[in-house]
């Protein structure tokens, strides 16, 4: 890879001095006779860092620190877009992470005013140059994107674009997204050095997106492992008892006509087996109670889970609690409220295409209220049966609660749970 060069054309790191308000290259001192002396090869110059080099290092460092910090994925990507736009002196910068529906699950833009966003409406679709970049192996650099045949489908009211630099965000052979700049303010348009720097920013974006995906996959694997373990526990602890109970009940029914005394003994055995099965089932249910509830309580457990989601997903999350401290709640109520919140959050992250998700918990005796709200695409409950709604309704009813889901296409979703305490 060739050295990264500054907008002036010199390699990054070349010594410079400030003269009359401008940075100028520092040349080696002249030799006697007027010829310039060369710095010894491999010997670093002791000149202090200068503005352009500092700006490059600061921007790249900001991106690195963002990726390794506890910021949410959305915040990390915004730092990357903002740093790239500032460092490469572009009027516009954007980063998009595609979804499977032909749109973008996340689209972050810098340089577009709120008024312009209001005119543009929804996030862009995967068409034209954006679609082409998702299929490219490398960067695209154009003096005037409007002359490119792939420049189609841009909405009315979109800011005028001219020179263009775009880079796919890749993880190995997979394209995770795109990042692009337009309208470079410095005369001469985007350069090869700009291309290399934007590729570096794209690499940091790939790390952030991959980390978020790994978290989601690990969560799914944890759920699968837990379900497998509980299925095994139920089989070992309860199913065998129920099987024996069924055989004993069948024997009692047969003996009732020929040997009532033995039938009575079998019925007593049925009662004993049923009691043992119930006790073991209760033990399994107690084991299902998350340990976090015992350590932190319902409020802090929810707060911590929302904070974790906020760090790893490209969505803004918020948690609010008000009212009486929910001390002394029945364990079954705490578990039900936590599981409903988790399922609603999971659905919102996976399906809503939301930009903001809020969890609100309120305790006004004798009612505990939970709301999970998102500003996403919404859905038609009659046409989407597979989002776990039946499961969370069952959980609500099991503790005497009521659950309502308010949603419609394009209007977000509110999951509202009320449980008596």
Q: Please say if the pLDDT value at position 150 is more than 60.
A: yes
Which among 299, 348, 346 is positioned nearest to 320, based on CA atoms? 299
Token duo for residue 195:
């291309």
Q: Are residues 313 and 166 in the same domain?
A: no
Specify which of 29-33, 119-123, 335-339 reaches the highest per-range mean pLDDT.
335-339
Contact yes or no for 201/228 (Cβ under 8 A): no
Which among 44, 209, 162 is positioned nearest to 154, based on CA atoms? 162
- Residue 372: predicted pLDDT: 96
Q: In which band, very low, low, confident or very high, does the pLDDT at 62 lie, cut at 50, 70 and 90?
A: low
Domain boundary residue, one of 214, 239, 274 = 214
Q: Are residues 62 and 205 in the same domain?
A: yes
What length does the chain have? 421
Domain boundary residue, one of 189, 214, 239 = 214
Pinpoint the alpha helices (H) of 6-48: none
Question: Rounded to whole angstroms, how far apart are CA atoms 368 and 421?
Answer: 6
Token duo for residue 209:
């997106």
Q: Are residues 67 and 185 in the same domain?
A: yes
Question: Rounded to whole angstroms, how far apart are CA atoms 402 and 421?
Answer: 13
Q: Are residues 302 and 412 in the same domain?
A: yes
Question: Rounded to whole angstroms, how far apart are CA atoms 154 and 164?
Answer: 14
Q: Are residues 208 and 318 in the same domain?
A: no
CA dihedral (382, 386, 388, 391) positive or negative: positive
- Residue 122: predicted pLDDT: 59
Could you give the number of structural domains in the chain?
2
Q: What percent of the chain has pLDDT over 90?
A: 18
Q: In which band, very low, low, confident or very high, does the pLDDT at 303 lie, cut at 50, 70 and 90?
A: very high
**Cβ-based neighbours of 288, under 8 Å, separated by 6 or more:** 230, 335
Q: Are residues 83 and 204 in the same domain?
A: yes
The answer to whether residue 95 is domain-embedded is yes
Question: Rounded to whole angstroms, how far apart are CA atoms 192 and 116?
Answer: 30
DSSP string, 313-378: SSSEEEEEEEES--TT--HHHHHHHHHHHHHHHHHHHHHS--SEEEEEEEEETTEEEEEEEE-S--
| CATH number of the domain that residue 134 is part of | 3.30.450.40
- Residue 4: predicted pLDDT: 43
| Digit-coded pLDDT (tens) for 213-243 | 777 677 667 666 766 766 666 666 666 667 7
- Helix H or strand E segment including 175: strand 174-184
Residues paired with 104 in a beta bridge: 98
* The Cα angle at residue 41 between residues 39 and 43, in degrees rounded to 5: 75
Token duo for residue 107:
């689209």
Range of the domain at 373: 294-421
- Residues 195/196/197/203 CA torsion (nearest 10 deg): 110
Q: Are residues 317 and 190 in the same domain?
A: no
Upper half-sphere CA count for residue 397 (Cβ side, 13 Å): 7
Q: How many Cβ atoms from other residues are within 10 Å of residue 394's Cβ?
A: 11
The answer to whether residue 94 is domain-embedded is yes
Buried b / exposed e over 87-109, threshold 16 CB at 10 Å, is bbebbbbbbbbbeeeebbebbbb
The answer to whether residue 15 is domain-embedded is no
Q: What percent of the chain has pLDDT over 70?
A: 68
Contact yes or no for 295/332 (Cβ under 8 A): no
Q: Please say if the pLDDT value at position 134 is more than 80.
A: yes
Q: Are residues 62 and 191 in the same domain?
A: yes
What mean pLDDT is predicted for residues 156-168?
84
Domain boundary residue, one of 159, 180, 214 = 214
The answer to whether residue 27 is domain-embedded is no
pTM for this one? 0.44
The answer to whether residue 277 is domain-embedded is no
The answer to whether residue 259 is domain-embedded is no
| Digit-coded pLDDT (tens) for 7-38 | 444 444 444 444 444 444 444 444 444 444 44
Q: How many Cβ atoms from other residues are within 10 Å of residue 319's Cβ?
A: 19
What mean pLDDT is predicted for residues 129-142?
85
Between these two residues, 127 and 108, which has the higher pLDDT value? 108
The answer to whether residue 132 is domain-embedded is yes
Pinpoint the alpha helices (H) of 121-188: 128-134
The answer to whether residue 150 is domain-embedded is yes
Q: Are residues 64 and 193 in the same domain?
A: yes
Q: What backbone torsions phi and psi does residue 318 show, to the nearest 5 degrees?
A: -145, 150
- Residue 305: predicted pLDDT: 84
What mean pLDDT is predicted for residues 272-281?
76
Q: Are residues 203 and 326 in the same domain?
A: no
| CATH number of the domain that residue 317 is part of | 3.30.565.10
Between these two residues, 362 and 40, which has the higher pLDDT value? 362
Q: In which band, very low, low, confident or very high, does the pLDDT at 146 lie, cut at 50, 70 and 90?
A: confident
Q: How many Cβ atoms from other residues are within 10 Å of residue 237's Cβ?
A: 17
Task: Tell me what the pLDDT averaged over the chain comes to.
Answer: 76
Which among 389, 293, 407, 292 is positioned nearest to 343, based on CA atoms? 389
Upper half-sphere CA count for residue 152 (Cβ side, 13 Å): 6
């Amino acid at each position: 890879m060739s050295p990264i060069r500054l907008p002036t054309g010199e390699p990054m790191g070349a010594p410079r001095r400030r003269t009359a308000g401008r940075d100028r290259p520092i040349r080696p001192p002249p030799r006697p006779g007027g010829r310039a002396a060369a710095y010894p090869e491999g010997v670093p110059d002791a000149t202090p860092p200068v503005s352009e080099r500092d700006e490059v290092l600061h921007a790249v460092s900001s991106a690195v620190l963002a990726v390794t910090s506890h910021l949410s994925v959305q915040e990390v990507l915004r730092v990357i877009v903002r740093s790239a736009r500032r460092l490469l002196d572009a009027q516009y910068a954007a980063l998009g992470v595609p979804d499977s529906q032909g749109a973008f699950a996340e689209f972050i833009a810098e340089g577009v005013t709120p008024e312009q966003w209001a005119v543009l409406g929804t996030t862009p679709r995967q068409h034209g140059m954006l679609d082409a970049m998702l299929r490219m192996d490398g960067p695209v650099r154009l003096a005037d994107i409007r002359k490119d045949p792939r420049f189609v489908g841009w909405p009315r009211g979109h800011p005028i674009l001219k020179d263009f630099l775009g880079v796919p965000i890749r993880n190995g052979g997979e394209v995770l997204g795109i990042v692009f700049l337009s309208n470079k303010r410095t005369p001469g348009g985007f350069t090869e050095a700009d291309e290399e720097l934007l590729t570096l920013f794209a690499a940091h974006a790939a790390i952030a997106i991959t980390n978020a995906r790994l978290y989601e996959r690990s969560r799914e694997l944890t759920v699968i492992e837990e379900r497998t373990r509980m299925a095994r526990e139920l089989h070992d602890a309860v199913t065998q008892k129920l099987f024996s109970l069924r055989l004993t009940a069948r024997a009692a029914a047969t003996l009732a006509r020929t040997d009532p005394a033995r039938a009575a003994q079998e019925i007593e055995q049925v009662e004993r087996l049923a009691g043992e099965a119930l006790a073991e089932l209760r033990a399994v249910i107690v084991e299902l109670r998350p340990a976090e509830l015992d350590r932190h309580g319902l409020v802090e457990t929810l707060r911590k889970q929302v904070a974790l989601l906020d760090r790893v997903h490209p969505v803004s999350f918020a948690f609010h609690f008000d009212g009486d401290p929910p001390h002394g709640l029945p364990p079954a109520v705490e578990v039900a409220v936590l599981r409903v919140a988790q399922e609603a959050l999971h659905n919102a992250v996976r399906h809503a295409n939301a930009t903001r998700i809020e969890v609100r918990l309120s305790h006004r005796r004798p009612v505990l209220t939970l709301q999970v709200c998102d500003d996403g695409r919404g859905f038609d409950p009659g046409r989407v049966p597979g989002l776990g709604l039946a499961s969370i309704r069952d959980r609500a009813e099991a503790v005497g609660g009521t659950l309502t889901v308010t949603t419609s296409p394009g209007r977000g979703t509110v999951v509202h749970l009320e449980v008596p305490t």
